[in-house]
Structure 1
Amino acid sequence: MKLYIYDHCPFCVKARMIFGLKNIPVELIVMMNDDEQTPVRLIGQKMAPILMKADGSCMPESLDIVHYIDESDRSPLLTGAVNPAIGDWLRRVNGYINKLLIPRVAEAPFAEFATPQARQYFINKKQATYGDFAELKQHAPGLIKNISDDLRKLDDLIVKPNAVNGELSLDDIHLFPLLRSLSLVAGVEYPSRVADYRDNMAKQTQVNLLSSVAA
């Protein structure tokens, strides 16, 4: 199987997680960010991730891929109950976090930005959505304080470092990608349980953190 992704993309991380958790081999193919032709050829529109199955058919949508792979061997891993408090926490944080993350993503050495044209394509698209990156960066200190405060609230919700609710569930699929993205931001303060959970999930899912290129 092949999984077409962007390395920075949290939705792509969701799809990558289930392969790592189940130790199922998959070929990762990083598309250039300005490559519209490949996803359109595969599924008719520009989006990621895209799973190409063994029979050559293609499946978009991260959660559809997660469910398909999790149930493919009839031994699903994501059997735990979800905690509404995790969903509430994610909704609150997702209301502002991209204003902190996106300008940093645009400057980071991701493979999908290997050409100047691919990087500029991303910048143009995201500035149209979120506003001028230079202006967003001026608000970064306040946003870093906000997320550090919210991470302290998350710390109280983490039951175990290998599963946020004690047993692997969709909450893990939604939570870890955000924490992985946050590892791109220098200066964020992580309480111990959040840090342990993030680091452990990176190992379990075989998805690298971004701390080495944090800015």
Structure 2
Amino acid sequence: MKLFVYDHCPFCVRARIPFGLKDIPLDLGFQLNDDEETPIRMIGAKMLPILQDDGKYMGESLDIVHYLDALDGLPVFGGAPDPALVEWLEKWNDVINDLVIPRTPDPVYPEFATPEAIAYFTRKKTATFGDFDGLKARTPELIASLELGLEALVPLLPDAEGASINDILLFPVLRSLSVMDGIRYPAAVDAYRHRMAERSGVPLVSALRASC
């Protein structure tokens, strides 16, 4: 099996988690962000993740998660997520995007190895989220707001030693936030994100930078 991903993409991280938590061998393929031809050829759309298995291609992150989860006959990512956690993710989605998106086109991620890939992402996301410099100018207020949200997340945290659909939804968001410094994480949230990074095999961005 081969999984085609963007390293920055939280939906791609979702699809990577079962490989780590269930010890499934993984062949990981990073795609340049401006490469439209490859994913369109595979699934008819410019979107990742894409799982290649036995000559067939599968898109949609949660479909991939459930496919991988069923391989050993012992599924752990089924069932409904915690409604309170879903509510938290919805509430803080805009703040997190405003912090993360303008910092995402960074060569620390393999998909931004070329100026053309960076320009492609910047053009597309600026049209949706607004000027990156304007978003970065709001950093202090956005961080102050998010840190209140992270405190509220503490009682909702999944068990970092377990495996559930809640991890599939939450860890990719926290991993995305690791692209930036300056956020004060509650101890429990910090412990969760580091432990899940270790168990899933998806390193935080701070670890990526340290390895460069």
Does the CA-based 8 Å contact 2:197-2:203 persist in structure 1? Answer: yes
**Amino acid in structure 1 at the alignment position of 2:103:** R
Aligned equivalents of 2:126, 2:179: Cα separation in 1: 19
Instruction: Report matched runs for 1:154-165 at 5 Å.
Output: 154-158=153-157, 160-163=159-162
Deviation at 1:80, TM superposition (A): 6.6
Deviation at 1:16, TM superposition (A): 0.3
Instruction: Report matched runs for 1:1-215 at 5 Å.
Output: 1-53=1-53, 55-78=54-77, 82-158=81-157, 160-163=159-162, 168-212=163-207, 213=209
Question: For residues 171 and 160 of structure 1, do their structure 2 counterparts lie closer, same or farther at Cα, with a shift above 3 Å needed?
Answer: closer
Aligned equivalents of 2:125, 2:88: Cα separation in 1: 24
Does the CA-based 8 Å contact 1:81-1:169 persist in structure 2? Answer: no
- TM-score, with length taken from structure 1: 0.93
Moved over 4 A (4+): none
Range 188-197 or range 72-81, more displaced: 72-81
**Amino acid in structure 2 at the alignment position of 1:97:** I
Deviation at 1:75, TM superposition (A): 1.2
Deviation at 1:208, TM superposition (A): 0.5
Aligned equivalents of 2:147, 2:58: Cα separation in 1: 36
Range 197-206 or range 152-161, more displaced: 152-161
Does the CA-based 8 Å contact 1:2-1:28 persist in structure 2? Answer: yes
Does the CA-based 8 Å contact 1:161-1:193 persist in structure 2? Answer: no
**Amino acid in structure 1 at the alignment position of 2:47:** M
Does the CA-based 8 Å contact 1:7-1:112 persist in structure 2? Answer: yes
Does the CA-based 8 Å contact 1:34-1:118 persist in structure 2? Answer: yes
Q: What RMSD over aligned residues (CA atoms) do the two structures have, in Å?
A: 1.5
Aligned equivalents of 1:79, 1:34: Cα separation in 2: 34
Deviation at 1:144, TM superposition (A): 0.8
Deviations 1:124-161 (A, max 9, x none): 00001001111111111111111111000001222533
Question: For residues 60 and 80 of structure 1, do their structure 2 counterparts lie closer, same or farther at Cα, with a shift above 3 Å needed?
Answer: closer
Aligned equivalents of 1:49, 1:122: Cα separation in 2: 16
Aligned equivalents of 1:103, 1:136: Cα separation in 2: 7
Q: SS in structure 2 opposite 1:162?
A: coil
Question: For residues 128 and 81 of structure 1, do their structure 2 counterparts lie closer, same or farther at Cα, with a shift above 3 Å needed?
Answer: closer
User: Between the two proteins, what is the percent identity of the paired residues?
Assistant: 51
Deviation at 1:107, TM superposition (A): 3.2
Q: Which runs of 5+ in 2 are unaligned?
A: none
Deviation at 1:79, TM superposition (A): 5.1
Deviations 1:38-70 (A, max 9, x none): 0011111100000001x1100000000000000
Q: Which runs of 5+ in 1 are unaligned?
A: none
